[in-house]
Structure 1
Amino acid sequence: MCAVHPDTTGVFDRLDFADDAPHEQVVFCQDLRTGLKAIIAIHSTALGPALGGTRFYPYVDERAALTDVLRLSRGMTYKAAIAGLKLGGGKAVIIGEPARLKTPALLEAYGRFVETLNGRYITAGDVNTTSEDMDIVGRTTAHVVARTPRNGGSGDSAPLTALGVFHAMAAAAETYWGTADLTGRKIGVEGVGKVGYNLVGLLVDAGAIVSATDTNTAALGRLAAAHPSVSIVDSVIDADIDLYAPCAMGATLTDVSAAGLIASVVCGAANNQLAHPDVELALHQRGILWVPDFVANSGGLIQVAGELDKRSREETTAQVEKVGDTVGRILQRQREHQILVGEAARDIVIERLRSARTPGPLSPVLPPRSDSF
């Protein structure tokens, strides 16, 4: 009989998901020939097939990878629901160093695993995967979007993700400062990869005073060459700024960082920005407005949904620009009900999921409506 370590958590007994709807399906994928180790998590198909990108990352261990994919896939359910899309939430992670392991053979092997799900999960690019990678994945599965335009896809989703974040910022600014104009606002962007780089360009064009940081020196070099007015700094989260834009990995908002935050507004592209849910209350108590990440960064999902629906780029861009309208409605609901902003957004999500269909074996039971603060 095997002894179980008391700290061990699996898929069914995770305390960090105890207050949320359970995942429908989690698939562990391994291909010894190519070195592929991947996890595909389908959180919900209540509104449609689960769609979410594939992240290729050198996690410290498999438990960290599992935690990430469960959180990310849940976030995709919320993102699709709040954006009014007929899609569910899913995500995948490939474990390992992409510079060493990412090969066409590995991506093809991954595509074969996606294909076994028969369209319940549709994949796309994410951290350390590109549209070119999705072209390769598409050799072995039909259930992939955001391929290059030459291969029938809508291409890199970073520009429209950044556009959605920009409009979310403008809506938050209008609520907090009384104007959506970002001219002269001091904005710190943390992470200038695919999305952060595009966001900085939009902010500079809008007249904002931008500072930026990243652990990748090459990314900073590219940014500095394109936007010499941007200040390259070691850290932005603790800087004297008006708006903090986390655009790298998640969980940067902890008890400590929330207590030291100078910025008045938090709005960025990173997923799962809060280290734990109570951080949202800590920010609120300090008078800091946080825009939920699954609302602000929904532009990329809107893009690939448009690809599936055969909408034009112009139609999709117009829908992404309405992310700001969604933020405005959430903030209005927050004021009317005197609840947290995140609660207002989640309540809208839950209402849409509840109205989608009667819960069945592949449709999770939803949690009760959140309480006010």
Structure 2
Amino acid sequence: MAIRRGPRSGLPLIIAVHSRALGPAVGGCRLRRYGSWREGLADALRLSEAMTFKCAASGLDFGGGKSVIALDEHSALTPGLRAAALADMGEFIASFEGSYRAGPDVGTTPEDMVVLRRACPYVFCLPEEHGGTGTSSTPTATGVLAALRAGAEHVLGSSSLTGRTVVVSGFGSVGSRIAAGLAADGARVLVSDVDTAKRETAVGAGFGWLEPHEVPGTRADVLVPAAVGGVLGPETVARLDVRLVVGPANNQLTTDSTADLLAKQNIVWVPDFVASAGGVVFTLGRECDGCTQEEAVRRVLGIGDTVRLLLDRSRTNGTTPLHEARALAERRLGPPATA
């Protein structure tokens, strides 16, 4: 882990590398507001660990990392400050000499990756016109839908979602794509977002709308957490009236023990680091392994097979899906290094 203040922007920059046991660390570059830079550091550490398990469970020969540009609650993010911060982060990433490689994340875009690329070659997901694969939102949503169908087969007895009620919490670039895919499958889709300006778009697309506080108590077959992490804790879980939880939000559980609470309520939770891997699987397949578009999509759809394996093992062994997913990842990672 390394921290520095950007020489141009003056903003705190953080790069956390959790593991390089399987290969170079990969993880998005996040630009968001925090109460303090220490909150940004905690975010980077949590997310880098999640990336390690995401890559390992997906069979990727990469480790986990994350970079954060920590904007305080009062600074205005002007175009000039944004450009300066990205230039600072590009040089910071370059100093890792390829042991950490970045892509877009919350607050950054494929166009921002072009700015990072000016300072270093270790950047993914540039726009297609710049030789990259562009946004990872579509393959991420594709992977979640594959995980969701596998989970529905296990929990509801059929992978078909026709007539099922699904709540999508978070109507951003990934959540909106998941909602559209579910509706195309015949599901009744209810969506929610803290940004109430999205309500008109959601309702216009044919989705029902829930206020964020209504989500936990709404009866549905499936809940899809598609916004920020840390949304599933004891109080929230106690209010849930669903049978399956699967979504792209990272670090959904407030603590790992929440997985046991979900199991006690007969709610099957598909670990986020498995369900959300479509973007990294697709991107690395295309940009590192030279896969065709079709082959990379097939790899993403393989997330469904992984979910079936984990849920079968969970049922057979009397464990949680989280336990089985971590065991799968840890078998690839090998024993922890000793001092």
Asked if TM exceeds 0.5, the reply is yes
Alpha-carbon distance in 2 for matches of 1:120, 1:61: 27
Residue 288 (structure 1) aligns with = 267
Distance 1:139 1:219, change over 3 A: farther
How does 1:1-373 map onto structure 2 within 5 Å?
26-96=1-71, 100-101=77-78, 102-225=81-204, 227=205, 229-235=206-212, 236-306=215-285, 307-354=287-334, 364=337
> Which moves more between the two structures, 39-48 or 90-99?
90-99
Deviation at 1:103, TM superposition (A): 2.2
Give the conservation status (yes or no) of the 8 Å contact 2:142–2:301: yes
Give the conservation status (yes or no) of the 8 Å contact 1:134–1:147: yes
SS at match of 2:77: helix
Alpha-carbon distance in 2 for matches of 1:309, 1:42: 22
Deviations 1:12-68 (A, max 9, x none): xxxxxxxxxxxxxx0112114223322110000011100000111101112221111
| TM-score using structure 2 length | 0.94
Give the conservation status (yes or no) of the 8 Å contact 2:55–2:61: yes
Give the conservation status (yes or no) of the 8 Å contact 1:190–1:237: no
Deviation at 1:216, TM superposition (A): 1.8
Deviation at 1:99, TM superposition (A): 6.4
Distance 1:334 1:72, change over 3 A: same
- Give the AA of the match of 1:333: R
Give the conservation status (yes or no) of the 8 Å contact 2:7–2:88: no
Alpha-carbon distance in 1 for matches of 2:239, 2:160: 26
- Give the AA of the match of 2:95: T
SS at match of 1:95: strand
- Give the AA of the match of 1:27: A
Superposed CA RMSD in Å reads: 1.6
Deviant stretches of 4+, over 6 Å: none
- Give the AA of the match of 1:29: R
Deviation at 1:333, TM superposition (A): 1.3
- Give the AA of the match of 1:184: G
- Give the AA of the match of 1:316: A
Distance 1:312 1:94, change over 3 A: same
| TM-score using structure 1 length | 0.86
Aligned-pair identity (%): 38
Give the conservation status (yes or no) of the 8 Å contact 2:12–2:37: no
Q: Which runs of 5+ in 2 are unaligned?
A: none
Give the conservation status (yes or no) of the 8 Å contact 1:79–1:298: yes
How many pairs were matched up? 332
Alpha-carbon distance in 2 for matches of 1:365, 1:289: 35
SS at match of 2:182: helix
Alpha-carbon distance in 2 for matches of 1:219, 1:87: 36
SS at match of 1:78: helix
Q: Which runs of 5+ in 1 are unaligned?
A: 1-25, 367-373
